[in-house]
Amino acid sequence: MNELQTKIAKIGVVPVIKLNNPTRDAVPLADALCAGGVPVAEVTFRAAGAADAIRLMAQSHPEMLVGAGTVLTTAQVDEAMAAGATFIVTPGLDIEIVKYCQEKGITIFPGCTTPTDYHAAYKLGLEVLKFFPAEQSGGLDKIKAMSAPFPMFKVMPTGGIGLKNLATYAACPVICACGGSYMVTADLIDNGKWDEITELCKKSIEIVKEARK
């Protein structure tokens, strides 16, 4: 794993964020995440203004690892990088986008859930893959099964992961970190429940640390 991937693995959880009002919410959300010991964020391009959110979070907290999620085009890669994103996440394995990110020197976590995906990722020289949607695609059992023929990969599962099953995932040595939106739901963000977000982050970190003992 490279330096950025190692830092993400050390944190253990990656909040997957959709911001409806980045001008209002990006900075206080970054404050809340960092206060909870989770200085990392995947800001999805599912909402307008994602680039603005990335820029605001990165500027307010230079120590944060702020990435772009749900990236579907190379143009979005450019937009995310211009805003200060340090990594790219795609829902599927798009070879064009992977190669583009490699040319640009930015880390990419492509969504992979099948042997075909993994094999293509191997040929592309990738090390850490996003496994999405995790629970709906077979969950930890499938991740473990896939690691038999492809032991070279670490995996970042996202989709259906919350406090109830975080420990189970985090305890698996194949897992780099777990992505999730449970600590950054629309209700929490839109209603400014920053203290609750911080506490959910702290709880998540505790669970990961305990699971990895």
Q: Which residues carry out catalysis?
A: 42, 130
* Gap between the Cα atoms of 54 and 27, Å rounded: 10
Q: Phi, psi (5° rounding) for residue 68?
A: -110, 130
- Residue entry with tokens 């640009």: 104
* Gap between the Cα atoms of 185 and 204, Å rounded: 15
Q: Phi, psi (5° rounding) for residue 75?
A: -65, -40
* Amino acid occupying residue 93: L
Give the burial string for 69-100 (b: 16+ CB within 10 Å, else e): bbbeebebbebbbebbbbbbbbbebbeebbeb
Report the SS3 class of residue 160. Answer: coil
